[in-house]
Each structure stands twice: as C-alpha cells, then as structure tokens.
Amino acid sequence: MDRPTSSNRTPTPALLLGLVITLTAVVAYAAYISVQLAGLRRLQSEMVDRNRKDSLQLLRIQNDLNSIALAMRDMLDTTEPYPLTAWKAQFERNQQDLEKALDVEENLASASRTPEQRLYLSQSVRQFWDAVERMFKLAESGKDSDAREQIRLSLQSRQQALSTAVSRLLVENNEGEQQAAQRIANIYDGVQKQSYFFLGATLITIVLTSSYLIRSNRMIFAKLADLSDQRSELAQKLISTQESTLRHISRELHDEFGQILTAVGSMLRRASNHTAKDSPLQKELGEVQEIAQNTLSNIRTLSQALHPVLLEEAGLESTLEWYLPSLEKQTGLKVHYEKTGQTFPVEPSAGVNIYRVVQEALNNVTRHSGATEAWVRLKFSERQLAVEVEDLGKGFFPDKTQRGIGLVAMRERAELIGGTILIAGGTEAGTIVRLQVPRERAEANAS
C-alpha cells in the first residue's frame, strides 16, 4: 500500500500545534503578569505603605523628643519663675504619647530591623524615663540644683541619643523606600521586556503559522488546479473518444448496413420483375422491399444523428438546417431558427461541439421544460460566434438540473473550443442556453 506523501498531508495538525503554542504563550504570559502584579501589590502594601506609616510614627516620636528637649532647656533656665515640678505634667503627657507611638511603630517596623535595634530603642526609652523620674524626685525634695545637674549630665545626653536613633531609623526607612521603588522599577522593566519578548514570540508564531498556511493553501490550490486540468483533459479525451466512436458507428451504419440494405432492395426489385404481375409473391416482395427501404431510411437517419456527415461536408449551418426540421418531425417541438450576422466557415471539430451543445439543449427542452416551442439563434460577429437556445417552459432550477451529466458535457465542450456557456432564466420565462466561442477558435484551420 502506498504511503501518503507530504503533498497529501493535511495542514490541520501543524495549524493546531501553532494555535496550541500561541495559546500556551498567552496563558503563560498572563500567569507571569499576574504574579508580577501580585508582587507589586505586596511590595507596595507591605513595604512602601508600611514604611511610610512607620516613618510617620518615627516623626511623631521625634517630635515628642524635641518637645522634651525644649522643656529641659527651659528647666535649666534659672530665670524661669516656675519650679521644676511644674513641668511634670507635660513630661507625663509626652511620655504617654511617646509610648503609644512606640507601640504603633513596633508593629509597623520593617522586618529588616534587627532585634538589637529594637532592644536598644526600648531600653533607651525606659532608661530615659527612669532618669526623668529620679530627676523629679530630686526636685520634689527641694534639690533643684541637683535636679538640674541630672538634666544637664544625664537626661539631655539620653534625649540626644534617642533622637539620633530615631533619625537613623528614619534614614533606614527612606533607604527602604528607595530600594522598594527601585525594585518596583525593575519589575516594571522586566514586565516591559517580557511584553516585548512575548509580542515578538507571538508575532513570530503568527508569521510562521501564516506562512505555513499560505504555503499549504498554495499547494492545495495547485493540486486542485492540477486535478482540474486532469479532469478537463480526461473529459476532453472522453468527448473525443465518444465522437470518434459515434463517427465510426455512423460510418459503419451508413456504409455497411446501408449498402447491404441497398443491395437487398435491388435484389427484391429484380425478383419482383421475374414474377407474374399481380401475383401474391410479387405483393409480398413489394412489402419486403418497402420494409427494407424504411429500414434504410431509419439507418441513414440514425447515422446522421450519431455523427452528421453534413458537418464535414456542408458545415454547421447546413447541419442545423437539416437537424432542426428533423427534430420537429420526431418530437413535435416547434423550433424557430434565426441566423444573423456575416457568416464565416466553421472548423469541423468546433462545429461538432457547437452542434452537440445545441442538440443537448434541445433534448433538455423536449424532456424537462414542457414547452411546445423553442428558439435557436445563430449569431455571427467580428469577434465571436454565439448560439442561443431558448424556451418558455418550466424554467431552470440549478440545484436539480446541474446534477445532470448533460450540462457537464456542455460545459466541457465549451471549454474544449475555448468558449463560455451560460444557462439561466429567459427574458420572460423558461430557460436560455447561450454558447459564445471566439471567432479565432471557431474558424481556425477552416477551409
């Protein structure tokens, strides 16, 4: 068994593969974009927004520390009329606000902050407030000078250390925001590059698939054209074989059987001359002679129908002028024949095909149209020869009529002589068959 060649393979599997690759690329790219967008949302919510909120709390802590620093500066001013204990309420308010800010900041602190940093900040704050409490105890016991010395030597340095630590944390937050912004920019750059890569890969896939589809279509259409040429060539060979066979049968009928019947008729006449006049034998011989003559006439008619010798001897016009009255006698169809234009001799092979088209069209009229009249028009012009067969019958129904082999043969005969054939509805009703043949093809090699 022959294996299928590449030209017989369908392009569907390759096209489906290209579609699967394209869809896979789209799904993969969509998943990639989803992951990147989720990462961006997480980065913005967990790092950027959190850092900003943490920075706000650090600024709040720093603001409280600055308020405490201003209060301690005023406490060291001996010209102030207030005692040191007068600032205790302010310190308590600052302590409460600072502790709240520290609790919130502890929850918002970034994961990059080390445990040592967290412990240092909490211990420094606790030690600062312990020192503040000792300072106010000294002030309450009337030791204002010792209390001021405590502020000068211990509290101010601790406050500055806390402010420095908070400032360092603010700087770290700013650096974290910059790093997050850089990471976001990198993600956007990566997505952009991947978008270009995906678009390029998709375009390449589409181009390759389209190229393969175009190539496959060209191969298919080329094969269809080749099959059409082969079909046309086969149809032409069949038509030529048919005409050759009909010509041979026609000549055999005309020459062999015609001569035999002619000889039989002559022998019957001679036998009749040798018999007694008005005898029963002479009457029987006369009847047999009449049968032989009728048979000879029928054979000649059949011979002309199979292949009109007139086409080769007298041409297309004379053949139609003989055929149409003969068709009227056989079928009862009234045929109106019209010839217009300056006539020119028609080449016999082209005349045979034109005659067969007219013959098939009139056969369709008698079999299918139900019409009692038909019109045959032979039109000569400078550029072409046209033949029309029109009737006023039932009309032309393509879905049903085009299935017949007769119409296929008519089209093939038209193509064989380089002509075109049109089958459509008539001007009023019925059907019109119009065959147009270029003049150079109709009179080529005409004698």
pLDDT for position 46: 64
User: Burial code of 165-180, b = ≥16 C-beta within 10 A, e = fewer?
Assistant: bbeebbebbeebeeeb
Least confidently predicted of 92-106, 108-122, 137-151, 321-335: 108-122
User: Burial code of 26-36, b = ≥16 C-beta within 10 A, e = fewer?
Assistant: eeebeeeeeee
pLDDT for position 396: 63
User: How many Å apart are CA 106 and CA 98, to the nearest integer?
Assistant: 12
Structural domain includes residue 393: yes
Least confidently predicted of 137-141, 163-167, 269-273, 326-330: 269-273
Tell me if the pTM is above 0.85. Answer: no
Query: Average model confidence (pLDDT) for the chain?
Result: 80
User: How many Å apart are CA 116 and CA 217, to the nearest integer?
Assistant: 74
- Which CATH number belongs to the domain containing residue 362 in this structure? 3.30.565.10
Q: Is the pLDDT of residue 134 over 70?
A: yes
* Of residues 54 and 303, more confidently modeled: 54
Do residues 180 and 318 both lie within one domain?
A: no
Q: Which domain holds residue 25?
A: 6-214
pLDDT band at 4 (very low <50, low <70, confident <90, very high): very low
pLDDT for position 238: 75
Q: Is the pLDDT of residue 426 over 70?
A: no
Number of domains in the chain: 2
* Average pLDDT estimate for 290-315: 74
* Average pLDDT estimate for 273-296: 77
Structural domain includes residue 447: no
Q: What are phi and psi of 378, to 5 degrees?
A: -110, 115
Q: Is the pLDDT of residue 62 over 50?
A: yes
Q: How many CB atoms lie within 10 A of CB 423?
A: 19
* Percent of the chain at pLDDT exceeding 90: 10
- Which CATH number belongs to the domain containing residue 42 in this structure? 1.20.1330
Q: What are phi and psi of 397, to 5 degrees?
A: -120, 100
**Residue-wise pLDDT tens digits, 30-59:** 787 777 777 777 766 666 777 788 888 888
Structural domain includes residue 261: no
User: How many Å apart are CA 121 and CA 107, to the nearest integer?
Assistant: 14
pLDDT for position 45: 62
Do residues 328 and 208 both lie within one domain?
A: no
3-state helix, strand, coil in the chain (%, to 5): 75, 10, 15
According to the per-residue pLDDT averaged within each range, which of 232-236, 267-271, 437-441 is highest?
437-441
pLDDT for position 380: 92
Do residues 65 and 205 both lie within one domain?
A: yes
* Average pLDDT estimate for 114-134: 85
pLDDT for position 335: 92
pLDDT band at 435 (very low <50, low <70, confident <90, very high): very high
pLDDT for position 16: 75
Give the residue from 153, 182, 214 where a domain finishes: 214
Structural domain includes residue 230: no
Structural domain includes residue 231: no
pLDDT band at 375 (very low <50, low <70, confident <90, very high): very high
Distance of CA 396 to the CA centre of its chain: 35
pLDDT for position 374: 92
Q: Is the pLDDT of residue 279 over 50?
A: yes
* Average pLDDT estimate for 88-94: 90
Q: Is the pLDDT of residue 445 over 60?
A: no
Q: Output the DSSP codes for 103-161.
A: HHHHHH--TTS-HHHHHHHHHHHHHHHHHHHHHHHHHHTT-HHHHHHHIIIIIHHHHHH
Do residues 182 and 39 both lie within one domain?
A: yes
Give the residue from 187, 214, 241 where a domain finishes: 214
Structural domain includes residue 18: yes
Give the residue from 214, 238, 253 where a domain finishes: 214
Do residues 85 and 209 both lie within one domain?
A: yes
User: How many Å apart are CA 156 and CA 443, to the nearest integer?
Assistant: 125
Do residues 180 and 50 both lie within one domain?
A: yes
Structural domain includes residue 422: yes
pLDDT for position 1: 42
* Of residues 6 and 50, more confidently modeled: 50
pLDDT for position 6: 45
**Residue-wise pLDDT tens digits, 139-174:** 889 888 888 898 888 888 988 988 898 888 888 878
Q: What are phi and psi of 390, to 5 degrees?
A: -130, 145
Structural domain includes residue 420: yes
**Residue-wise pLDDT tens digits, 213-225:** 788 788 888 888 8
pLDDT band at 305 (very low <50, low <70, confident <90, very high): low
Q: Is the pLDDT of residue 253 over 90?
A: no
SS3 at position 344: coil
